[in-house]
Amino acid sequence: MGNSPADFSQLASDAILYNPSDLACWVDSLLTEFAEPPPTCSSDFIVDPVNNQTVVNSAWTAAEPHTPQVHQNITYDEQQSLDNQLTVVTAMEEDSGIRLVHMLMTCAECVQSGDLSLATSLIDDMQGLLTHVNTVCGIGKVAGHFIDALSRRIFQGMGGGSVNGGSAFENEILYHHFYEACPYLKFAHFTANQAILEAFDGHDCVHVVDFNLMHGLQWPALIQALALRPGGPPLLRLTGIGPPSPDGRDSLREIGLRLAELARSVNVRFAFRGVAASRLEDVKPWMLQVNPKEAVAVNSIMQLHRLLGCEQTRDSPIDTVLSWIRGLNPKIMTVVEQEANHNQPGFLDRFTEALYYYSTMFDSLEACRIQPEKALAEIYIQREIGNVVSCEGSARVERHEPLAKWRRRLSGAGFRALRLGSNAFKQASMLLTLFSAEGYSVEENEGCLSLGWHSSPLIAASAWQAVPAWDNHMSSS
C-alpha cells in the first residue's frame, strides 16, 4: 500500500482504463459516489473498483473535506491523464483503506462491548466502502476477509462451525498450496529437519513423532539427509499423527507407503506407523509405541497452540500433552509456531493483532506469482482469520502465542531450549534467497530462528529437550 512505484505498476496492470478525454466526468462520478451513502452490496470480495459512471456535474464541489484535490491538475494529454488517473486512484484508495481500518477497529470494539446494532450497520458501510477499494491486492483484500469474519461472528454466533469444518482432504490441499506459495512451511520443515538431524547424530535407531503428518512433505528431505550422513543411515521409524479419513480410505497409511518407497530408493531402513486422532489431546503415549532404546524426536509444526484452552486450569490439554512428551524423554522436540498474540482474552486486542499479522502475511503473499497456489494459499489463511475472529470456546483452535510465551510455558513444563545453530541459520537464509520476493528475513533470537516479512516476524522455530533432573526438582519443592 502507498505510493511506491511497485504499487503504481500493479495498479496500471489492474486498473480499468477509461477514455482519458472523459476523465473529468469519471472523476466527477467517483466523487459523487463517495459523497452519497453507498448502496449495500453482497460480500463478494472480488469487485470492480468503480461500477457506474453517472455523470453529475456539480457534485464534486460538495465532496467531503478530505477528498484529494488532484482533479484540478488534470489535463487532456494522454500520458499526463494516465498518471493523474493513477494518482487519483491511489490517493482515493489509500484514503479508503485507512477508513476501512478505522471502521474495522470500531466495529470490533462494538462487538466487544456488545453493541451489535451499530456493529451491523458498520459492516454494511464497510462492504459499501469495499467497492471503492481495489480488493485484488493490498488492504482491500485483507479487509474483505476480516469483514466476512466479523459478520459471521455477529450473525452466526460464536460457533462459526463452517469456518473450521473443512474436510481433512480440503485442509490438506490448502496446506499443500500454502506450502508451495510462500516459504513459511518450507522454513519450518528445513529448520526442524536440521535440528533433528543434528540431534540424531551417532544414533542407530531413531524415531520421529510428527504431530501433523498432512502429506508428509517434511520427511523426504530428512530421509535423504540421513541416507547421506557419514556413517550410514540409521533405522528410521516415523509415527505420523493425523485426522481420521472419513470415507474409509487410510490416508495416513498411503502417505506412509509413499515415504517408505522413497526410503527404499535411497536405502534407508524405514518403518511407518499412523495414528488417527481428530484432536491431539486424544493421543496417548502408548499409541506411539516408543522403544526405550531409540532416540526420539517430537515434531510439532503449528500444533501446540491448538491445545491451549481459554481457561488456565491445571489439567488443560497442553499440560497433559507436554507431560507425556517429557515422559518419552525425546532427544529433541522441534516447535514451530506462528509468532503472533492471538490468544488474548479481550476481543479487540486479538482483533487488532490479527489485523496487523495477517495484513503482513498477505503482503508477503503478493510476491507469489504461481497460480492456483496463491489463491488456495489465501483461502488457507482466510480460514485461519475466520477462526481467530469469529470463533470462541472449543471451536477456536487458532490460539497463537508469541515465542516469549512459549519459552515460559515450555520452561515451566520441564524443557530447556536447544540452540538451533549456524547451519540452520545458513540453510534458512539460502532458502529465503530462492524465493523471489525480497522482503523475507531470518532472525536469530536466543537460539531460535524466526522468519518474517520486512522485519516483522511471522513464524518462529525453536528446539527443546527434556530437563532430566526435573522430577527431582518437582518432588523436592
Q: What are the two backbone dihedrals, phi and then psi, of residue 108, each rounded to the nearest 5 degrees? A: -65, -40
- Note whether 197 binds another protein by CB under 8 A: no
**Contact assessment for residue 56 and residue 28, using Cβ atoms and an 8 Å cutoff:** yes
Q: Which residue from 29, 96, 251, 364 is in contact with another protein, where contact means CB under 8 A?
A: 251
Among the listed residues 95, 198, 204, 254, the single contact to another protein using CB under 8 A: 254
Nearer to another protein, 95 or 198 (CB): 198
* 221 touches another protein (CB under 8 A): yes
Query: Which residue from 62, 116, 310, 370 is in contact with another protein, where contact means CB under 8 A?
Result: 370
Site for another protein, residues 412 to 431, rule: CB under 8 A: 423, 426-427, 430-431
**Which of 2, 372, 393, 468 contacts another protein by CB under 8 A?**
372
Q: Least separation, in Å, of the C-beta of 461 and another protein?
A: 16
- Nearer CB in complex with another protein: 17/434: 434
60 binds another protein (CB under 8 A): no
Phi and psi for 229 in degrees, rounded to 5?
-75, 145
Residues 206 and 225: their CA atoms lie apart, in Å, by 14
Please count the other Cβ atoms lying within 10 Å of the Cβ belonging to residue 167.
Answer: 12
Closer residue to another protein in complex, CB, 25/221: 221
What is each CA distance from 54 to 21, 31, 50, in whole angstroms?
A: 16, 11, 11
Interface with another protein: number of residues (CB under 8 A): 46
Residue 125 binds another protein (CB under 8 A): no
Residue 253 is a binding residue for another protein (CB under 8 A):
no
180 contacts another protein (rule: CB under 8 A):
yes
299 closest CA partner among 328, 266, 258: 328
> What's the closest the beta carbon of residue 304 comes to another protein, in angstroms?
24
Give the residue from 357, 360, 337 showing the smallest Cα distance to 349: 357
Site string for another protein, 298-317 (x = CB under 8 A): --------------------
Please say which residue, 6 or 271, places its beta carbon nearer to another protein.
6
The region of 24-32, 307-315, 366-374, 445-453 touching another protein under the rule CB under 8 A is 366-374
Of the candidates 82, 136, 437, 467, which one interacts with another protein according to CB under 8 A?
437
Asked if residue 265 binds another protein (CB under 8 A), the reply is yes
DSSP state of 288: G
Q: Is 232 in the site for another protein (CB under 8 A)?
A: yes
**Which of these, 73, 55, 43, 46, lies nearest to 18 by C-alpha position?**
55
**Closer CB to another protein, 189 or 396, in the complex:** 189
Contacts of 460 (CB under 8 A, 6+ apart): 336, 337, 338, 339, 402, 403, 445, 448, 449, 450, 451
How far the first Cα of the chain sits from its last, in Å, is: 55
Q: How far is the CB of 437 from another protein (least distance, A)?
A: 6
**373, 378, 384, 401: which one binds another protein (CB under 8 A):** 373
CA pair distance 103, 99, nearest whole angstrom: 6
Of 11, 147, 223, 332, which one interacts with another protein (CB under 8 A)? 223
Q: What angle do CA 245, 247, 250 make, to 5 degrees?
A: 45
For every residue of 153-203, DSSP letters joined together read HHHHTT--HHHH---HHHHHHHHHHHHHHSSHHHHHHHHHHHHHHHHTTT-
The DSSP 8-state label assigned to residue 236 in this structure reads E
Contact 128, 41 (CB under 8 A): yes
- The whole-angstrom separation of Cα 131 and Cα 126 is 9
Q: Of 337, 296, 338, whose CA–CA distance to 196 is shortest?
A: 296
Q: Which listed range, 15-23, 174-182, 393-401, 460-468, lies at the site for another protein (CB under 8 A)?
A: 174-182
**Residue of 196, 216, 214, 191 lying closest to 206 (CA atoms):** 196
Q: Which of 102, 279, 284, 369 binds another protein (CB under 8 A)?
A: 369
Q: How far is the CB of 463 from another protein (least distance, A)?
A: 18
Q: How far is the CB of 21 from another protein (least distance, A)?
A: 35
Binding site for another protein (CB under 8 A): 169, 173, 176-177, 179-180, 186, 190, 193, 215-217, 220-221, 223-225, 227-228, 230, 232, 251, 254, 258-259, 261-262, 265-267, 367, 369-370, 372-373, 423, 426-427, 430-431, 433-438
